[in-house]
Amino acid sequence: MKDFQTIGIITKQNINENLATLKKLTKYLKRKKKEILFDTNSSPLITRKKGLTRHQILQKSNMVIILGGDGTLLKTASYIKKDVPVLVINLGRLGFLTEVSPDELEKGLDKIFNNKFKIDSRTLLRVTVYRNDKKIKTFLALNEAAINQGAFARLIELKTHTDDELITNYIADGLIFSTPTGSTAHSLSAGGPIVHPILPAMIITPICPYRLSTRPIVLPNDKTVTVEITTERHQKYHIGLTVDGQETFPLKFGDKIKVRKSSRNLLLIKLHEKYYKILREKLHWGQ
């Protein structure tokens, strides 16, 4: 039996557009005598206080409720430090990773507080950038990390190894490293496979490769993949790393990017077994 006594609330940026849902959630949790921790977006609307950061919410809560969409969850995932279950109430558009709608809020929470739910552990990628053999930046990715060139449609060369073995020297517009969770995101748009989220896998998907024989590949996620930027570019031709579509980092000739499974996981609260239903609805299969 899970004792969810301290509930953290993390919301999308413009939560004032969904103030009624926030108030409904707050009223419900108070009725259940839960301690509520509000983030910096929601607290001024309810308590007139400053509120806590995402990092503080995740550290101090034993359950977190996100009011938003997939983007809000992706922003939150990078702050994960400990195993705290997360429930996402969909206020966004696509909602691949969300669990309940605002109309289902009370019914869904009743199930959770009566211990009628499952925990879905999702893999995170640890993405580290090295420059001149020195670690300069590390990211966590729930969906993917992509190496590409901003506005310029020019090929770049990316020498890619797994552990001590050469995979290939990719010549492409870029390269996407995806978790199974992210297989239905950027990787799918670039022609990558759909991989069930519980599989222990890492997907490498080239973006518009020069050779048509260069295809996406699925690796076991106990491997460390290293990519070296082997194309030198003038300053105006930017090569960059984009993580979950939320963070960007400029890359230089000779940089090495190491991608591996993180020791941390994102724990999603699941109330229904609806993975294939989501694929049918969101991707319009059979229509």
Say if residue 202's pLDDT is above 60: yes
- Using pLDDT thresholds of 50, 70 and 90, give the confidence band for residue 286: confident
Q: For residues 66 and 88, what is the distance between their CA atoms, to the nearest angstrom?
A: 5
pTM comes to 0.91
Average pLDDT of span 109-129: 95
**Contact of 44 with 74, CB cutoff 8 Å:** no
- Using pLDDT thresholds of 50, 70 and 90, give the confidence band for residue 101: confident
Q: 98 versus 179: which is more confidently predicted?
A: 179
Of 39, 70, 120, 244, which is the active-site residue? 70
Distance of CA 53 to the CA centre of its chain: 18
Is 70 an annotated catalytic residue? yes
Domain ranges of the chain: 6-117+271-283, 124-263
What confidence score (pLDDT) does residue 237 get?
61
**Any bridge partners for residue 270, and if so which?**
118
Which is nearest to 226 in space by CA: 169, 141, 183?
A: 169
Q: Are strands 201-207 and 217-220 parallel, antiparallel or unpaired?
A: antiparallel
Q: For residues 167 and 218, what is the distance between their CA atoms, to the nearest angstrom?
A: 12
Say if residue 235's pLDDT is above 60: no
CA distances from 97 to 34, 132, 174, 216, 253 (A): 25, 38, 26, 23, 36
Q: For residues 169 and 211, what is the distance between their CA atoms, to the nearest angstrom?
A: 11
**Contact of 134 with 258, CB cutoff 8 Å:** no
Q: For residues 257 and 244, what is the distance between their CA atoms, to the nearest angstrom?
A: 16
CATH of 124-263, one of 3.90.600.10, 1.10.3720.10, 2.60.200.30, 3.40.50.300: 2.60.200.30
Listed ranges 98-107, 163-172, 267-276; the one with the highest mean pLDDT: 163-172
pLDDT, averaged across the chain: 91
Q: Are strands 144-149 and 239-243 parallel, antiparallel or unpaired?
A: antiparallel
- Using pLDDT thresholds of 50, 70 and 90, give the confidence band for residue 287: confident
CATH of 6-117+271-283, one of 3.40.50.300, 3.30.1780.10, 3.40.50.10330, 3.90.1070.10: 3.40.50.10330
